[in-house]
A = this chain, B = another copy of it.
């Protein structure tokens, strides 16, 4: 299931991770290959699911989304999957992970204000089957990398 990346693939991905709009011609020059080869490689990486897509990176802070919180939840095991499905639909919840330890799941929540955060936390805390929550409010973002470092 794991796709083996050769050196050329890695170099192409590295360039695209820095700027996905880099023209193929420029990539070709950088790697001393033809434009067609870059084209074929990228096409293959897409077909194999390595490249899931191209997205624009919007600065959340610039558009007012500057409140982040991580929420740990514990739940009634019988209702857990149902709870996850519901939380999945919340657009304010950007990440959901099952985790080991005292709590069941870890959520990353991003909103525009503390009021909005309070609303979401209430919604989650009051869901049927949620037995306890623990919220960690983010005071400062020190690092938030969105690309993979495979150097």
Residue pairs across A and B with Cβ atoms less than 8 A apart, 30 shown, are: A1-B62, A2-B64, A3-B62, A3-B63, A17-B58, A19-B55, A20-B21, A49-B59, A49-B62, A50-B58, A50-B63, A52-B57, A52-B59, A56-B147, A60-B148, A63-B148, A68-B97, A70-B97, A70-B99, A88-B143, A94-B144, A96-B142, A97-B141, A98-B138, A98-B139, A99-B137, A99-B138, A99-B139, A106-B136, A106-B138
Q: Is the CB of B96 within 8 A of A143?
A: yes
Q: Is the CB of A146 within 8 A of B63?
A: no
Question: In the complex, what's the smallest C-beta–C-beta distance from A96 to chain B, in angstroms?
Answer: 4
Q: Is the CB of A54 within 8 A of B52?
A: no
What's the interface size class on A, roughly?
35 or more
In the bound complex, CA of A65 to CA of B137 (Å): 28
In the bound complex, CA of A104 to CA of B84 (Å): 27
A91 at the interface (CB under 8 A from B): yes
Q: Is the CB of A55 within 8 A of B54?
A: yes
* A54 in contact with B51 given A64-B2, A101-B134 (CB within 8 Å): no
Chain A interface residues (CB < 8 Å from chain B): 1-3, 5, 13, 16-21, 48-60, 62-65, 68, 70, 84, 88, 91-101, 103, 105-106, 110, 134-151
- List the B side residues contacting A140 at CB < 8 Å: 97-98
- Chain B residue at smallest Cβ distance from A51: B56
Question: In the complex, what's the smallest C-beta–C-beta distance from A27 to chain B, in angstroms?
Answer: 12
Of A65, A96, A99, A140, most B-chain CB atoms within 10 Å: A99
